[in-house]
Amino acid sequence: MIINSCAFPRAALVGNPSDGYFGKTIAFVFDNYRASVQLYETPELTFLPSTRDYTVFKNLEDLDNKVDAFGYYGGIRLLKAAARQFYLYCKKHGHSPEKSNFTIRYESDIPNRLGLAGSSAIITAAMRAMFQYYGLPISNAELANLVLATERDELSIPAGLQDRVAQAFNHPVFMDFNRRFMEEHGYGDYRCIEIPQEINLFVGYRTDLAEGSEILHSRLRGDYNAGIPAVLDAMKEWAELTGQMTVALEQRDHAAITKIINRNFDLRCEVCSSSISEKNLRMVTLARECGASAKFTGSGGAVIGTFEDEAMFTRLRTTLKQYDVEVIRPRIVHSGGEVPCPQL
């Protein structure tokens, strides 16, 4: 039996980066890109490399380009970490997988290291494949926790639950990470919501250079743990903005949605300005100069916002393209579960 599984990039509509600080967020996944995993039975446990794992290059320029795009670490480490966390999960819950070993491989066209949750997409797809292979159940909330543990505990990647929740649910999700609820249940209070189709959303991402999110998260975590008043107040306001966005979406209040998106980013600048690079700031600035709203989809490298009409969207694409930013309309996934994935 050959199992094909996939997961999609995530865009945070509002509330980020409060998800790691007992805040509230709204996020969704979109299927313009995807991470795909293929798993099948074999005598030995085998992890096959993909393009970003290659160790042979045409020349030094090719090496430089690959490092810019993928960093120094490929996706094999993600698959290994996912398999180990899956094994530990099985031991903890008394599962004893009866089938033999497997070979697993992946492909991904999700723009890498740009705040679109490309790494967690690979892990989510791998987890889905392993649970299906061994015939084991897992809830969406537990799956998100397991993917987070893979990144945070196995790979020491600073991360929050938001990305993994959106990818686990395959549906726009309102997430409340209330501390008391989290401590009692082990996960947040998640509710699937609808994002009206008439709301014109765009996602733009840089094509010139990928950046990790470690710097932002490490600095923000330090300020939060130190009890810096401005940071604590910002976390509360991001949560409030998320509540306001829920109402605005339900009422189709386009003006309020625009205002909330812009405020989300302006607040980030107030408390995280030193962690925002010039090129990342330029994306937001250029989009707003075109008349659109804009904020980061994650920690930088990609932006999300709203536009009014086709003329504005064309202006966005043309203007940002001059600065190595690709602009797309995200196709929001509303499946609420696993989706068909093509064979690799």
Q: Which residues are identified as catalytic?
A: 163
Q: Which amino acid is at 200?
A: N
Q: Which DSSP state fits 290?
A: T
Q: What is the dihedral of CA 127, 298, 112, 338, to 10 degrees?
A: 30
- Sheet of 302-306: strand order equals 295-296, 302-306, 201-206, 325-328
The secondary element (H helix, E strand) that includes residue 226 is none
CA–CA dist 157, 166 (Å, integer) = 18
Q: Which amino acid is at 23?
A: G
Q: What are phi and psi of 226, to 5 degrees?
A: -80, -5
Q: Which amino acid is at 71?
A: G
* Beta-carbon contacts of residue 312 (< 8 Å; ≥ 6 apart): 290, 291, 292
**3-state SS, residue 319:** helix
Could you tell me the two tokens for 216? Answer: 């932002």
**3-state SS, residue 210:** coil
